[in-house]
């Protein structure tokens, strides 16, 4: 393989991964993946036609064909995304039935069961992590292992009962080998999380860890740079903070995490509950 071919293949793979992420934003529930795991769409196939072409006559000048980029092709003809979630016409149970015994992506390999969002269906406060771990895979509920026990203590320290909040993950299956979910896997699973958020309509979401942060807010910065500052996600306040599993490895970050959660607590205490639309 020549260096030029390798560069082009790397670029196509990068665009394919971005394509999968954009499909998730559009609300795609399934994405057909070939055996290589690369998303192939008409938008990507136009890449081969983007090189300058010439007429048969020698005197003609090279004229580049005007094709949209993969991202432009995805959004071409679509109305701009709304600033807030539209009013949901379904219940969480409807979403979970749609998910079913999901095999839409490779993260289902070896998992015991799908781990759906769990807690108060009309909660003001929602916590979102990365993906289930071993204990969650066995019990079928998010954050029930060591990290979950720490999260429960964090919630209680805010003066809130765990039963009053709702907790979920970007991905619902424990990835093989407990690895990080791929961009394609997150893009396939994320629309279900967005639908849940539209039903729950939480006033504040706490995103825990880089994977949750980047999948929800589409930011390149890591947790360390953005934590402690409220972000906006379609009209919902979002507080990025460290993942409880990270706090188990580095307890020195607990103080910063507590500062983040105090801001969330104070916001909820200082603002009356918003009526659900």
Q: Which residues contact 225 (CB under 8 A, 6 or more apart)?
A: none
Q: What is the CATH number of domain 92-270?
A: 3.40.470.10
User: Alpha-carbon distance 207 to 153, whole Å?
Assistant: 17
Q: Report, as an integer, the average pLDDT of 82-88.
A: 68
User: Alpha-carbon distance 91 to 98, whole Å?
Assistant: 11
Task: Tell me the Ramachandran region of residue 26: left when phi exceeds 0, alpha when psi lies from -120 to 50, beta otherwise.
Answer: alpha
What's the length of the chain? 277
- The residue to which tokens 């390149």 are assigned: 220
- With residue 127 as reference, give the H or E element that holds it: strand 125-129
Q: Bridge partners of 239?
A: 206
Residue 14 has pLDDT above 90, yes or no: no
Per-residue burial over 47-60, b = 16 or more CB atoms within 10 Å of its CB, e = otherwise: eeeeeeeeeeeeee
pTM above 0.75, yes or no: no
The pLDDT tens digits for 211-243 are 999 988 888 889 999 999 999 998 999 999 999
User: Alpha-carbon distance 103 to 75, whole Å?
Assistant: 27
Q: Which residues contact 187 (CB under 8 A, 6 or more apart)?
A: 20, 21, 22, 23, 24, 28, 31
Query: Tell me, what DSSP letter sits at residue 84?
Result: S
- With residue 151 as reference, give the H or E element that holds it: helix 146-157
Express as a percent the part of the chain with pLDDT over 70: 70
Domain boundaries, the chain: 3-75, 92-270
User: Alpha-carbon distance 136 to 143, whole Å?
Assistant: 6
The pLDDT tens digits for 160-197 are 999 999 999 999 999 998 888 888 999 999 999 999 99
Closest CA to 143 of 182, 174, 175: 174
Q: Are strands 236-241 and 118-119 parallel, antiparallel or unpaired?
A: unpaired
Closest CA to 67 of 43, 98, 89, 92: 43
């Amino acid at each position: 393989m020549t260096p030029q071919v390798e560069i082009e293949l790397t670029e196509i793979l990068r665009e394919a991964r971005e394509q999968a992420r954009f499909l998730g934003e559009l609300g795609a529930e399934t994405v057909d993946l070939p055996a290589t795991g690369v998303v192939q769409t008409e938008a990507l196939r136009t890449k081969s036609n983007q090189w300058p072409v010439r007429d048969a006559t020698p005197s003609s000048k090279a004229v580049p064909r005007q094709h949209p980029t993969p991202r432009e092709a995805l959004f071409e003809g679509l109305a701009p995304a709304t600033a807030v979630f539209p009013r949901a016409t379904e219940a969480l149970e409807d979403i979970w039935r749609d998910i079913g015994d999901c095999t839409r992506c490779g993260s289902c390999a070896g998992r015991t069961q799908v781990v759906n969002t769990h807690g108060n269906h009309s909660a003001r406060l929602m916590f979102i992590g990365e993906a289930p771990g071993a204990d969650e895979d066995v019990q079928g509920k998010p954050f029930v292992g060591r990290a979950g026990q720490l999260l429960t203590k964090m919630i209680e320290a805010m003066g809130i009962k765990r039963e009053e909040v709702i907790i979920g993950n970007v991905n619902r299956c424990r990835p093989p080998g407990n690895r990080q979910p791929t961009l394609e896997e997150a893009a396939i699973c994320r629309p279900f999380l967005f639908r849940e958020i539209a039903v729950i309509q939480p006033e504040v979401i706490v995103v825990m860890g880089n994977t949750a942060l980047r999948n929800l807010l589409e930011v390149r910065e890591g947790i360390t740079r953005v934590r402690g500052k409220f972000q906006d996600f379609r009209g919902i306040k979002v507080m990025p903070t460290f993942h409880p599993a990270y706090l188990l490895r580095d307890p020195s970050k607990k103080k910063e995490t507590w500062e983040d959660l105090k801001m969330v607590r104070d916001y909820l205490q200082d603002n009356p509950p918003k009526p659900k639309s």
